[in-house]
Chains A and B, each alone.
Chain A
Amino acid sequence: MRSIRWLAVVPFLALLVGPFFVNQPTPLILGLPFLLAWIVVWILITSLIMAVIYAVDPANREEGA
């Protein structure tokens, strides 16, 4: 299940490439300009992705690893 680690590429695409497609002030999402909202949402998703990787990664079950 180490291939799950490839999920970590997704935040890079979302935060480096994504803004090229969402660089606009509106619509406001929860009061935030669209670009800022995009970045914030992806930070939340990134945390989730890291949680999934952490849960599945066998390295975290090895003693003292």
Chain B
Amino acid sequence: MNGALPFIAAAALLALVLGFLARRGKDMNLEQWTVGGRGFGAIFVFLLLAGEIYTTFTFLGGSGYAYGKGAPAYYILAYGTLAYVLSYFMLPPIWRYAKEHRLYSQSDFFVRKYDSPALGVLVALVDIVALIPYLVLQFKGLGIIVDIAGYGAISPTVAIWIGAIIVAAYVMVSGVHGSAWTSVAKDTMILAIVIFLGLYLPLHYYGGLGPMFTAIEQAKPGFTVLPAHGESLWWYASTVLLTALGFFMWPHSFGSIYTAKNATVIRKNAIFLPLYQLILLFVFFVGFAATLQVPGLTGSNIDLALFKLSVKTFDPWFVGVIGATGIFTALVPGSMILMTAATLIANNLYRAVNPSADDRQVSYLAKLLVPLVALVAVFFTLKGGETIVALLLMGYSFVTQLFPSLILSLAHRNFATREGAAAGIIVGVATVATVSLTGMNFHKLAWLPSAIQDLNIGIVALVANFIVLIVVSLATRAAAAPAQAAAE
């Protein structure tokens, strides 16, 4: 027994209790379970939309990125901000349409807009393939956090099992209400902890932010600016743009739009979410503070920077508090992913093959699927090798492929046809997979100017997607026109 364990145990218990209490007073039909009865006010919608920024990826990965690479980490601040600017214009029409047609999932949106259940199945498959590795990432992070913050008293395997059981239990019982309630605890804790760490660590080790950055620039010249090659300005601009477009294409983020009780809630949040993003700045400060204090972490170990420095600096009980916060950053996004994946399978795959299924059956099935999806994710977390890592890197690029056909469908007259949308998505996803699996990037094409070499390769997939979408849409329109004329 060490000083950290009580706090870690308390966090797990708190998540479970909040997750169960969230159900109170609600009849958990599909609409309550998956989109909160479309009755969430500004705060819950805010927390759900912000949930995406503060996952284990940012807690561990954000500080790790600053620690290992320096300035390229800034891109995370920029893309979130631009995504929230887009949200003001893009999300209200999505919300309105979803409410009118009583949609539950992102896939439903495509089914309705393109009047094509088959396109819905395609979207659901892309979503699930992207979501499962993302859930695995949260579980992996949870294992690491509990292992380090608990000073090795609890093995990652045990931590992952316990975490998966807790999150599956409260998602089954409370659905998105459980995510919303636990996110209140998560965000309160992370605000306090991250701001404290981000201010204290630079002060403690360097005497302040200015001296810290001066010391870093002296030891590693160029570390606080974007390098001339590799993760350069061109890399930064292309990556920020791509990730900003893909941000709300994550099906669980997309689904949290549906929970809003009106569109004003969503627009108002576009004012405050950019500010909230700034908490990440403090995560970066921790990573920068660690660069000169716990040097030597390389490869995927850079993600340990925050905890290595914390263990070096603080008493075990406080490391336990940080660990408790870390647990929430894994469980809350995990719960949203879990619920979204289960809804997609029940509502968009099962219902596609069994159209007579009513909402009650779908709701029942979705809840039954929660522990199964969690089990699959635990299996991949514990047994998954290289494949899962490859899928992780692709997840974001996969969901970004939904952007062209989604954005076009918001226009009064949608130019894209269902065939065009499907072909674009398939080509985009295939391009992402090919490019990622072969390790292709512009640097392999030595004849290109260096600015282009540094561009994010994801742009190729998105452009290919768009071109195929346009060509196929034109072709299907041309083919349909004579038939229509004949019918008239």
In the complex, B403 has a CB within 8 A of chain A: no
- Whether B271 contacts A30 by the Cβ 8 Å rule is no
In the complex, B262 has a CB within 8 A of chain A: yes
Q: Known contacts being A8-B85, A65-B263, is A16 close to B240, with CB within 8 Å?
A: yes
Q: Known contacts being A19-B237, A60-B267, is A35 close to B77, with CB within 8 Å?
A: no
- Whether B213 contacts A33 by the Cβ 8 Å rule is yes
Q: Known contacts being A36-B224, A44-B275, A64-B262, is A17 close to B237, with CB within 8 Å?
A: yes
Inside 8 A of B212's CB, which chain A residues have their CB?
31
Inside 8 A of A53's CB, which chain B residues have their CB?
88
- Whether A35 contacts B82 by the Cβ 8 Å rule is no
Q: Known contacts being A17-B237, A31-B209, A53-B88, is A11 close to B224, with CB within 8 Å?
A: no
Given contacts A36-B281, A50-B88, A50-B271, 13 further A-B contacts (CB under 8 A): A8-B85, A15-B78, A15-B240, A16-B240, A19-B237, A31-B209, A32-B209, A33-B217, A43-B274, A47-B271, A54-B268, A60-B268, A65-B92
- Whether A40 contacts B225 by the Cβ 8 Å rule is no
Residues 255-267 of chain B, each 1 if its beta carbon lies under 8 Å from chain A, else 0: 0000000111001
Chain A residues engaging chain B, CB cutoff 8 angstroms: 5, 8, 11-12, 15-17, 19-20, 23-26, 28, 30-33, 35-36, 39-40, 42-44, 46-47, 49-51, 53-54, 57, 59-60, 64-65
Bound complex: CA A42 to CA B79 (Å): 12
In the complex, B364 has a CB within 8 A of chain A: no
Bound complex: CA A54 to CA B263 (Å): 12
**Count of interface residues, chain B, beta-carbon cutoff 8 Å:** 41
- Whether A23 contacts B82 by the Cβ 8 Å rule is no
Sample of 17 A–B contacts (CB below 8 Å) = A11-B81, A12-B82, A16-B240, A23-B225, A33-B225, A35-B71, A35-B74, A35-B224, A36-B284, A40-B77, A43-B81, A43-B277, A44-B275, A54-B88, A54-B270, A59-B92, A60-B264
Bound complex: CA A25 to CA B71 (Å): 10
Chain B residues engaging chain A, CB cutoff 8 angstroms: 71, 74, 77-78, 81-82, 84-85, 88-89, 92, 208-210, 212-214, 217, 222, 224-226, 233, 236-237, 240-241, 262-264, 267-268, 270-272, 274-275, 277-278, 281, 284
Kindly provide the distance from the CB of A29 to the nearest chain B CB, expressed in whole angstroms: 9
Bound complex: CA A33 to CA B149 (Å): 31
Q: Known contacts being A11-B82, A43-B275, is A36 close to B74, with CB within 8 Å?
A: yes
Q: Known contacts being A33-B71, A40-B281, A57-B267, is A16 close to B225, with CB within 8 Å?
A: no
**A interface: dominant SS:** helix
Bound complex: CA A17 to CA B224 (Å): 18
Inside 8 A of B281's CB, which chain A residues have their CB?
36, 40
Q: Known contacts being A15-B240, A16-B241, A19-B233, is A25 close to B81, with CB within 8 Å?
A: no
Q: Known contacts being A35-B71, A39-B78, A59-B267, is A20 close to B225, with CB within 8 Å?
A: no
- Whether A23 contacts B263 by the Cβ 8 Å rule is no
Kindly provide the distance from the CB of A27 to the nearest chain B CB, expressed in whole angstroms: 10
Bound complex: CA A25 to CA B216 (Å): 10
Bound complex: CA A36 to CA B278 (Å): 11
Kindly provide the distance from the CB of A2 to the nearest chain B CB, expressed in whole angstroms: 11
Inside 8 A of B88's CB, which chain A residues have their CB?
8, 50, 53-54
Inside 8 A of A31's CB, which chain B residues have their CB?
208-210, 212-213
- Whether A15 contacts B81 by the Cβ 8 Å rule is yes
Kindly provide the distance from the CB of A47 to the nearest chain B CB, expressed in whole angstroms: 5
Bound complex: CA A29 to CA B74 (Å): 16
Bound complex: CA A31 to CA B289 (Å): 13
Bound complex: CA A17 to CA B271 (Å): 22
Beta-carbon nearest neighbor of A8 in chain B: B85
- Whether A43 contacts B278 by the Cβ 8 Å rule is yes
Inside 8 A of B84's CB, which chain A residues have their CB?
46, 50
Kindly provide the distance from the CB of B174 to the nearest chain A CB, expressed in whole angstroms: 27
- Whether A28 contacts B225 by the Cβ 8 Å rule is no
